[in-house]
Amino acid sequence: MKKSLLTKASVLLLASAIGCQEKPVEVDYTIMSDEERLEAAKEIAHETIMVDGHVDLPYRMKVGGFTLQREILDVSERTDGGNFDFPRSKEGGLDAPFMSIYLPARYQEMGGAKNLADSLILMTKRLADTWPEKFAMAYSPDDIEANFKAGKISLPMGMENGAGIEDDIENVAYFHEKGIRYITLTHGKDNLIGDSSYDTARTHGGLTEFGKEVVKEMNKVGIMVDISHVSDDTFYDVMELTDVPVIASHSSCRKYTPGFERNMDDDMIKRLGEENGIIMINFGGSFIDGNYNDRTAEVREHIVNWLAQNEFSRSDSAAQAYIEKYTAEHNVFPDVKLVADHIDHVVSIAGIDHVGFGSDFDGVGDSLPNGLKDVSMYPNLIAELLKRGYSKEDIEKICYKNVFRVWRAVEDAATKMS
């Protein structure tokens, strides 16, 4: 079990419990100083199971040269790059990052999507086999709860891009057997299942007939349907078809990124909530801030022009010093407060029971907001939510209870169907 920190929050809770044995008084975190509130947030993060809907570690391992025979990327220790490793996870209170089994859209055309999925699944399982005292696989909420009590980080898995199913419906059950617990139906391109938000071709106008079979089969075997990356038409087709709640494992609110269909608009968030689903907020800069890309482009253009005018290359020490100074003075990154704004927005539309964390750590490069640069920094977001009046119970719902509710509903439905 995680070590508890003695903070003003815990003292207040203890005092209230002594004064009233029946029901402790809820702590008012809004009246604390920022320092006290951050300590309270750290305590909550370390006492509460925290699930993140999407962390791209497996593909980072593949790109970094990880093989099944040799561990090039040792995430059991602190790493120089990336956003995830064991020490930083422990610092931030992250207990169950869904490992993204990411299948780039090009594998839909060149073939090999299923084989790539198999290799990434094996890489993920190798983490638990290599460092069993630190990592453990998780195939259910019960597994995560058991691993949490043992002090281990759980590694549930979701497959990002249904292309791994290829054209064989039996592969849905195959991947459930392999440990996949959600499937993101599409990625960057339309596929055999349906249309992608990133693809303007709109090949099918939503789900295909095969895609409808896939959704039904996922309901049957107990795999959560993930509607991140799908087009609006595909989303609504899924909502009409599915018998159980669905998730958006790493999406944010289109209100803050007008025209960016990859995020969910208000009507979609409302419908997701009505059907008891959950949207897990993506932390990436372009996902939370509609002006992020423009600011980044302006800074990049200035640096390119400055290098040309002064006849420097980026490798020159003087150029590196200038770039570091200029980018620090013209910080393009959004703030952790904007991630909290997205959570606020979901809550205002769908309610507190329908939002979670879906960072996209290791998947959105260096675009992450100030205060949320890696998995050690979740307490900064929790502190901001506490400052806005969220209760400890609210935070617990965001951290794990909401996604556990959906996951268990999918498990229960599959058990009944079988």
Structural domains of the chain, ranges and CATH numbers in brackets: 50-289+334-417 (3.20.20.140)
- Number of DSSP helices (H) and strands (E) in the chain, helices first: 18, 10
67, 281, 305, 340, 367 from 296: Cα distances, Å: 35, 22, 14, 22, 9
Low-confidence ranges of the chain (pLDDT < 50): 1-20, 67-69
- The contacts of residue 58 (CB under 8 Å, 6+ apart) are 99, 100, 101, 102, 120, 121, 123, 124
Give the position of tokens 């040799």.
Answer: 70
- Structure confidence at residue 11 (pLDDT): 45
- Structure confidence at residue 199 (pLDDT): 97
| Residue range 354-400, pLDDT digits in tens | 999 999 999 998 899 999 999 999 999 999 999 999 999 999 999 99
CA separation for the pair 122, 44 (Å, rounded): 33
CA separation for the pair 369, 132 (Å, rounded): 32
- Structure confidence at residue 80 (pLDDT): 87
CA 82 to chain centre: 15
160 by DSSP, 3-state: which? strand
Q: Using the 8-state DSSP alphabet, how is residue 353 labeled?
A: G
CA separation for the pair 351, 407 (Å, rounded): 18
Which residues in 337-417 belong to E strands, given as ranges? 355-357
- What mean pLDDT is reported for the chain? 91
- Structure confidence at residue 300 (pLDDT): 81
